Structure 1
């Protein structure tokens, strides 16, 4: 049985850098619904739940070990003269992946998608309902299964040299994809962790952020793994991703950021998506000798009687801007085999076991 009842899905070792005087006691919270900054909120009550991960002591120990590794890594990163090395990159990638999958917001999205799927299918059996803790357990197993899925991403640390600090949130590990959101070939499709053009973002402190990216699509100039950000527009671009991705609350180190956040919220609020999925229900429309065709319809008692396809699609927010340091690689490349798998990175195309081979295509 887990010994710690109050379990954090955004760990206190992560939030510490954003707390008042880094004392890990209180933090400034900006609530998006109320559009209000609340100062000096006890951090121990933020991003946590009673036995959020269940009562599996081995799972709790594994999570605590990962958090301890991150805390040590952050102290090392903040040491003057630190140069990013391969081991540090691995710790940061794993931290991002665990945080991306473990939050309440991520679990609630899975629960909502499952519930909406049941509605479409006309299923009202409680045994098919997915609960928050069930979703959390699935996510934790996914971390183990996908441990190496982003090992091929390039990694860089961003040093904030501006007067605007980085903000974080209750869902801070952002997955976005500029190429996928802008290239017409990917129009209407979703992207995942194996996709070409993936960008992973995680603020580490108010003046340091982690970014991982598809090196076949983008290029980030750096020295010893560090990129200095001197443009407030670039900081705002990164902070906007926190605003678009968070569930309810942003966390800020400096309470004087309130007006800045309100202005950015006014610019970006319509880009926040809820729900963040779409479910398409299609029925058999035509069946020939060589192919069949399905037609998207509204689910009903009548349409549920025949042959049908159910397709769930994750929706992704498009920010108002992208940071200038995330440049296009020329010539960049993506990989596709023309199927619903979509566009994936070279590492995954080379190890994919499909009957249709992948081809290298120009990204731009």
Structure 2
């Protein structure tokens, strides 16, 4: 049995730079459910559940590998962010990816997907008895999440990465689901929700402290106009609020901040941004097989799942990503973005992306130089 019963899905090494008090053992937070500020909450009890990763301690022990390396890099960058190396940024990118999968928020999205699909299948079965999973156990969902991370590590190695240094009076905040994966290109230009890790336009953001953050992005779609080396220096307070909005929209229950004097700032940002929080976690679309031509299967979308004798259907789903009221000004669209159009539901992907399960994505379609996006 694991020695540590209380297991963190957001590690203390991430929360501690946002802490305060003696040895940073406490932290300030805003609870979204109660709309209340809580000062000096114990750091130990935040973002943790009893045996979240199981009682044998194997998964938790394995995660300590990334947490230890993350802590070492973070201490170094806190002293001099301009000294960040390619290896440092690669470690932060991998840690941010891990954090997108290991939180209770992601596990909730997985269990919600199973619940929604079960309801759709039962509704379409018209009373027929079916042997389908009643629900996805939390422990199984956690194992699936960690497996997804391990299988997806190569999918983000092509993303351009840098640090954000906050030179304003405003503080960067973090949350109980701090790593934000979103896609301005899909949401704003293509008007599509269905993007993933390999999609063109992917953005991965993780705050590191009230004064430092990590940003990874598709360099074929965006560029950072104020970047110098591996650092973007920010001196406009509203640019920090734009980053904080992503935390508000992505969080499950709590927003964490450092200096208690930032309470007014956090309150103002809560009032501005909470109305954009999504109530729906996952989008599911069903497609029926309509025929096969030249050995290619053709499907058409269904308004609702229909189960017919001898019929075939497939499911497409995506977890809904944050869509802020204003996208970060730290990234601009390139005049001629580059992407690969797969001609499938996957849509546009990055030219240099590594697809999980393969050494390198074989590009059967040409790289397209796009027009300037509509803003």
Per the normalisation by structure 2, the TM-score is: 0.88
**Does 1:360 find its partner at 2:368?**
yes
- CA displacement, residues 11-53 of structure 1 (integer Å, 9 cap, x when unaligned): 0111100111472311111011222111011111110011111
Distance 1:48 1:126, change over 3 A: farther
Offset, 1:263: 2.7
Name the structure 2 match of 1:269: 274
Whether the aligned pair in 2 keeps the contact of 1:110 and 1:135 (CA below 8 Å) is: yes
- Out of 200, 210, 214, the residue aligned to residue 210 of structure 1 is 214
Match of residue 340 from structure 1: 345
Structure 1 residue 133, shift from structure 2 partner: 1.4
1:106 offset after TM fit, Å? Answer: 0.5
CA offsets, 1:272-304, max 9 Å, x none? 1122212234556x66978866352334xxx32
- Which digits, 9 at most, give the CA deviation of each residue in 1:71-102, with x for residues without a partner? 00001111237422111011101110111110
- Give distance in 2, aligned partners of 1:49 and 1:295: 40
- Name 2:156's counterpart in structure 1: 150
Pick from 318, 336, 345 the counterpart of residue 323 of structure 2.
318
Moved more, 27-36 or 309-318: 309-318
Distance 2:301 2:216 in 1: 39
Aligned-partner Cα distance in 2 for 1:272–1:212: 23
CA drift at 1:316: 2.4
In the TM superposition, what whole-angstrom CA distance separates every residue of 1:213-242 from its partner, at most 9, and x where no partner exists?
Answer: 111111113223111101111000000000
Hey, what's the Cα distance between the residues in 2 that align with 1:131 and 1:278? 21
- The worse-fitting range, judged by mean Cα deviation, of 314-323 and 27-36 is 314-323
Cα gap change, 1:363 to 1:253, in 2 (>3 Å): farther
Question: What residue is the counterpart of 1:253 in the other structure?
Answer: 258
| Unaligned stretches of 5+ residues in structure 2 | 123-128
C-alpha RMSD over aligned residues:
2.4
Q: How many residues align?
A: 357
Question: Which stretch has the larger CA shift, 326-335 or 68-77?
Answer: 326-335
- Further displaced range: 337-346 or 259-268: 259-268
Answering whether residue 201 of structure 2 is matched by residue 200 of structure 1, we say no
In the alignment, structure 1 residue 40 sits paired with structure 2 residue 46:
no
